[in-house]
Each structure stands twice: as C-alpha cells, then as structure tokens.
A and B are shown apart, each in its own frame.
Chain A
Amino acid sequence: MLSLETIFKKNDKVPWRVIEGEAILVKVDSGEVSHLNEVATEIWQAIDGQRKLSDIIKHIHDSFEVKREEAEKDTLEFLKALADKKIIIAVDPPEKKKIKSK
C-alpha cells in the first residue's frame, strides 16, 4: 500500500539517462525504451531512497506550480505504475531500519 510516508528507491538494474531534460529508461526484460516527460523526469530524479512520497509531492507542487491535489494525483499515479513494473522499489523508513539493526 502506498502512503505519504512511503520511501522509494530506483531499481538499480534499470538503465537510464536524462537527455535534454527528459529521462530515457530501459526495461531490460522486454528491451522496451520509455521516454518520460518533463514532470515525470522531475519525479524520477527525486526518487533517491530518502525522500518520502509527501516530500516528492511537495517538490513537484513547488516546481510546477500546479494545484496540490493535482501534484498528488499525478505523482501517486506515476509512482504506482513504476512500482507495479518494479522500476522502483519501496524501502523501509530509516527509523525502522535502525530498530532492526539493534
């Protein structure tokens, strides 16, 4: 389940580059090459294994001056699609990790 606290990291087996401000991703299983638009590229670059979903939504809201609800809807939809395709992976929040390591 996605929550605003969810943290995602990029699947480190997905090759990608940003060319002229737009990300190009390669899905290795299928050889499919996808091209992200400007907003999707901004979201993709914000996925760093540290930022919470709420931080990413805020970042998109600030960068594109869209309505908060719109930023939230777009970001959630996009991240869900990426997660379904295993292009990004949800990680445990840092607090939990600390408890586990103890």
Chain B
Amino acid sequence: MNKSLKVKIAGLCAEIRTEDFEAFSFLRSKFIDFLSDQKKKNLTIEIKGKLPSSSNQSLPRLVFKEGKFYFFLEKNPEISLGHIDLERRNCCISGFEDRYKLLHSVLLYFALFIEKSGGIILHASAAYKNGHGFIFPGPANAGKSTILKQLSDFCPQTEEWTAVKKVGNSFYVWSIPYQNALNKKKKLQYIFFPKKGKLVAFKRLKQGEAAKRLLRNCLFSTMHPELVGKVIAGVAELTREIPCYELEFPLNVRIDREIDNLIESDKKRLNRRRKILPEDFDLSRLHEPLILTWNCNLLCRHCRPYLPQDETLSFSDVKKHLDRLAKNGTLFLHLTGGEPLAHQDFWKVSSYALKKTFALILHTNGTLITPEIGEKLKSLNFLHVFVTVLGGNKQTHDHLTGVEGSFERTISGLRILKENDLDVILSTTQLEENQQEIPEIRELAEKLGVKFRIVPFQTPNKKEYEEFNQCYQKNFQES
C-alpha cells in the first residue's frame, strides 16, 4: 500500500511517497519535527523498489546528465540510484538497504531546490535569542557544537547543517533535519566563525575574507555550473549584508555576555547612523547620468565640434539601461545629452524612469521649452532642471552657442520652468570668453528667481572628457 508524508524544509514542502513501510517509518522518524500538513506542495519524491545491500560506504552525490540530475555513489559511478526531473520538480529514488543513503539522497534533493531558489546550505550550527538568529559555520572540530553549549541564554537551533535564504529584504536561517535540530525559521543577524583559543575575542571580517571562509563551509548539492554560480552569488550577497566576525573563545566559559555587548555596541552605532544619512555616506554613488542623444539644436563652440555625430539611444536601449541602473541602486537619474529634449522618445523615457522610481534631473539648454513642456516636466515630477546659460547678455551667449536668438529662447524657457514651480538651476560653464561675465550671469539668475551654479564643462564620459579637454586646450592655444 502506498504511504505518503509531507516534509517542509527551508520553506519547501515535499510529498514523499513509498510502498516500503520500513522506508516510510524510518524517514518519518528522521523528519518528525519537519512534518507538514500544508496542502500545496512544491516537490514530490517517489521511493521505488529496493537496491541490494552493498558494502559501498560512500554517500550519494548528484551528477547532471542529459537534462536530468542522477544520484550516483562516489565509488560506484555506473549504477544510478535515482534521478531528479528539474522541470517537473519530482524525484525518483530506489529504496536502499542502507537507510542513511536514502536519507542523504532526500536531503540532497531538498538542497538542490534550496540552491535553485537562491538559498545556500552551510556546514554550520545555529542559535537564536530575542528573535536574533546567529550562525556558526566551520569544519568538523572548529567548535560549532561546543559554542552552543557555552551560550546558555541562547536557544540552540541546529548543530550541523543550516540553510540560509533571502526572503524579501532579509536573510533567514532554517535548520536542515539532523540530530537535535529544531524546526525553526529565524531572521539572521550575525555570522560568527568559531575558533578555539585562550580569550574571548571578536575580529570583524572584511567581505572578501568572510565570503572565502563561508564558501569553504558550503554544501554544493551538485557541481552544475549554474547552481554553483548561484551559491557563490548568494554567499557574496550574504557577506555584504550580514556582519561577519571571527569569534575566538576558550572552552568551558560562558560567552553570552560578550556577544550581548557586541550586539549592543553595534546597535548603538546603527542607531546613530540612522538618524540622518551618515556623514560618510557618499550620495554621489546614487547619481548616474544618461546621455539620451548627442544631437543638439545649438552649436556651442566649446562643445559641438567634439561630440560624436547623430548618436541616439533607442527607447528599447534606454529601457535596458534604466532597468540596470535601478537594479544597481541609482536613485538620481540625470537626463542629459546633447540636448535631451531633442530625443524623439523623451517623454516615453521620462515616464518609464518615473515608473522605475528614479528621481529625475534634466540638463537642458532651455531653448525647446514651451509652456506645455513646462507643465509636462512638472507633472512628471522632475526634481531639478539645470539650464545652461553661457553669457550675461544676448551677444556673448549667442556668440558662444553659435545660434542667433538662443539667449531669448533660453531665458523664456527659464521663466516657464519657474512658473511651473520646478526647482530650476541656471548653470554656467566658465570659459575664456565669458569669465568676465560670471557676476552678470549670477545677477541674471537672481533676477529670474532661480538658483545659480558654475559647473565645469564635461561630457559625462571620463575618457571623452579627457580627450575633449586636450582638444580644447590645443585649439585655445592655437587661436
């Protein structure tokens, strides 16, 4: 008769079906704390028939072959003991005389799907206190179990195998069934690498070092490159976000107090940091320029000759850039060019960027701004608009932009932006020809009621900027 039980490990629920009563009762006893009555299952395990007993002591491992994962014994790579169908998420295993090989196979199956869903399995003990989860990764004899005994205020969660996975914004710790493992899910706060020593001492590990140590204690369910890559990426993220320490401790001494003190001092530091943006927080890393097009309706002599001709990003390219920037943490998006308003899809781009929750900043020459465009910029919630003015009067400005009438159009643009209650910054570039007029340009800004800023001329690309500078200086010396 078919027997079935549901087991839930690290958030994944598998139904195990077998005709073998012994296999059923053995697995049931091993997973007793991990049984689930959840209706929806993620995985299925079918245990069929029996393999003859063998003296082969090695444990099963997973090998990828022709679209499936097969269980092989390390010392007997000819006979498959079962397979996993990734697409259907089911697994078929032969019943073993050696029940521990069966248990190991079932756990490997879980491990594969935990890794597939972005989790990692660590050779680590774990404990928790006041909702804080702590893990202690290390090889055999590093002190993983010993340390749990010396933490009398902490509740031990597991001694040997731990799963860690990011859910939403946080990392969580689960136990993998093993002796004395409690079926708990805790929010991970700290990683401590235990080291037996003479005194209690904490050494904060840099991310690279912590990742290296963590990788040494990772279980890789298989050597399939995609899954190995996922585990490595998981370790990198984990060590970037969770504080990692080496914890040296002597035997037979309680170390609760020291860990409490460490948490307390870290908390104080965090609280201080959280009131306002920390002083050392580099806001510039949240800013990124996006050159929509090199096209421009002006012919500024310090700029135009050095710009590439007619290069414009298509909307689909822009979308790709924006998706990448959003993912990398860019918050302030500077739309620039050339003249960004000359881009055929400027409004589509701005709407898409708004949807991606960027703060939008426009860098424009202001000549194309009409009342409708002013209203549209306001409705798209532009944070700042920078408008370039190169002279304090029509003569200088029009001379430098190479276009008659550009001064009037730019000033009109500035007025419209101001009327629409946008945060407008009149920005100027200090050039040989206009440096005498900087006070006049500043006055102009004051008259218009907008902010004023002198910006060094630069194309956002560093290499182009350097090339430009060389060219510009050469031309300047020649003239």
Query: Which of these, B169, B187, B381, contacts A18 with CB under 8 Å?
Result: B169
The chain A residue sitting closest to B171, CB to CB, is: A21
A65 touches B130 (CB 8 A): yes
CA distance A14 to B332 in the complex (A): 12
CA distance A16 to B381 in the complex (A): 13
CA distance A19 to B287 in the complex (A): 13
B359 touches A13 (CB 8 A): no
Q: How far is the CB of A77 from chain B (nearest CB, A)?
A: 16
A54 interface hit (Cβ, 8 Å) = no
**B130 contacts across to A, CB distance below 8 A:** 65
B357 interface hit (Cβ, 8 Å) = yes
**B248 contacts across to A, CB distance below 8 A:** none
B274 interface hit (Cβ, 8 Å) = yes
Query: Which of these, A12, A13, A15, A35, contacts B276 with CB under 8 Å?
Result: A35
B419 interface hit (Cβ, 8 Å) = no
CA distance A9 to B115 in the complex (A): 33
**A37 contacts across to B, CB distance below 8 A:** 270, 274
A17 touches B131 (CB 8 A): no
The chain A residue sitting closest to B186, CB to CB, is: A65
Question: In chain A between 25 and 63, which residues have their CB closer than 8 angstroms to a CB of chain B?
Answer: 26, 28, 31, 33, 35, 37, 41-42, 45, 63
A26 touches B359 (CB 8 A): yes
B67 interface hit (Cβ, 8 Å) = no
Question: In chain B between 311 and 337, which residues have their CB closer than 8 angstroms to a CB of chain A?
Answer: 326, 329-332
Query: Which of these, B170, B274, B277, B357, contacts A17 with CB under 8 Å?
Result: B357
The chain A residue sitting closest to B276, CB to CB, is: A35
B355 interface hit (Cβ, 8 Å) = yes
The chain B residue sitting closest to A42, CB to CB, is: B169
CA distance A65 to B277 in the complex (A): 26
The chain A residue sitting closest to B130, CB to CB, is: A65
The chain A residue sitting closest to B359, CB to CB, is: A15
B249 interface hit (Cβ, 8 Å) = no
Q: How far is the CB of B426 from chain A (nearest CB, A)?
A: 17
A17 touches B383 (CB 8 A): no
B329 touches A17 (CB 8 A): yes
15 A-B residue pairings within 8 Å (CB atoms): A12-B355, A15-B332, A15-B383, A17-B357, A19-B286, A21-B170, A24-B277, A24-B331, A26-B383, A28-B359, A35-B277, A41-B169, A42-B170, A63-B170, A66-B131
Binding site for B on A (CB under 8 A): 12-22, 24, 26, 28, 31, 33, 35, 37, 41-42, 45, 63-66
User: Given known contacts A15-B357, A31-B384, what 17 new A-B pairs fall within 8 Å (CB)?
Assistant: A13-B381, A17-B357, A18-B169, A18-B329, A19-B329, A20-B241, A22-B274, A24-B277, A24-B286, A26-B359, A28-B359, A28-B383, A35-B274, A35-B277, A42-B168, A63-B187, A65-B187
